[in-house]
Amino acid sequence: MSPWETLEAEIVACRRCPRLVAWREEIAATKRRAFRQEGYWGRPVPGFGDRAARVLIVGLAPGAHGANRTGRMFTGDSSGDFLYPALYRAGLANQPRSQRPGDGLALRDAFITAVCRCAPPANKPNAQELAACRPYLEREIALLDRVQVIVALGRIAFDTIVQIYHAGRPAFAHAAVYTLGPGRPYLIASYHPSRQNTQTGRLTTEMFDQVWAQALRILANP
């Protein structure tokens, strides 16, 4: 197997965190009523996108009835419904919809992953679970050797990237750009496109577009 195939197989088979294993499998078994007739993925979710990408997008974790159901990051829930149209507007996706694998979606120069690969209770992985999952993200970053920009969706993703690159303790601010060190990618912070943020106006379409405009400017002027 290729390094990518090996990594994805290890991620999908992972059972390191008993609490997360129990939760993701319970959700997959009980299901949401709207998806009662569908089969749930119910396993850890690998990254998705262009393996030659210059933009790496890092989220928090699969949604219980989103990626935990579909098996693809930010697919099948409200966060994806907000993220993918923004990527489409920025030219980083070929379509604004992400419903399920096989729906024709392709990312252009972008790769999407998360700091936690299993759906956590209340969307809150604990410190031990994040630490157990971090090596998978580190290996993805090593394989994505053309990345020039990392977009962190939310504070936990931001802090994890800062820790991986040993980049001190920068303050999180939406759409702010940070340097991770000589020869390393730039880091852009963004509020997470969760329903809690988008429906309250904490994150608007215009604010989110600003993040991707920042990323495109860096790619145009590395």
> What DSSP letter does each residue of 138-172 carry, written as one string?
HHHHHH-TT--EEEEESHHHHHHHHHHTT---PPP
Mean pLDDT of the chain: 96
Name 151's bridge partners.
57, 188
| Residue 149 dihedral angles phi and psi, to the nearest 5° | -140, 135
User: Tens digit of pLDDT for each residue in 167-211?
Assistant: 999 999 999 999 999 999 999 999 999 999 999 999 999 999 999
Q: Given this model, what pLDDT does residue 222 score?
A: 67
What would you report as the CA-atom Rg of the chain, rounded to the nearest whole angstrom?
16
Q: Given this model, what pLDDT does residue 34 score?
A: 83
What integer is the mean pLDDT of 42-57? Answer: 98
| Residue 64 dihedral angles phi and psi, to the nearest 5° | -55, -40
Q: Given this model, what pLDDT does residue 104 score?
A: 97
Architecture of 3-220 per CATH? Answer: 3-Layer(aba) Sandwich (3.40)
Q: Given this model, what pLDDT does residue 44 score?
A: 98
- What predicted TM-score, i.e. pTM, was given to this entire model? 0.97
- Could you tell me the residue ranges of all domains in the chain? 3-220
User: Tens digit of pLDDT for each residue in 136-152?
Assistant: 999 999 999 999 999 99
- pLDDT tops 80 at residue 216: yes
| Residue 72 dihedral angles phi and psi, to the nearest 5° | -135, 135
Q: Alpha-carbon distance 126 to 32, whole Å? A: 24
In eight-state DSSP terms, residue 178 is E
Q: Given this model, what pLDDT does residue 185 score?
A: 97
Q: Given this model, what pLDDT does residue 54 score?
A: 98
Alpha carbon distances (Å) from 128 to 7, 55, 113, 132, 199: 21, 28, 19, 6, 31
Q: Given this model, what pLDDT does residue 221 score?
A: 86
User: Tens digit of pLDDT for each residue in 118-141?
Assistant: 999 999 999 999 999 999 999 999
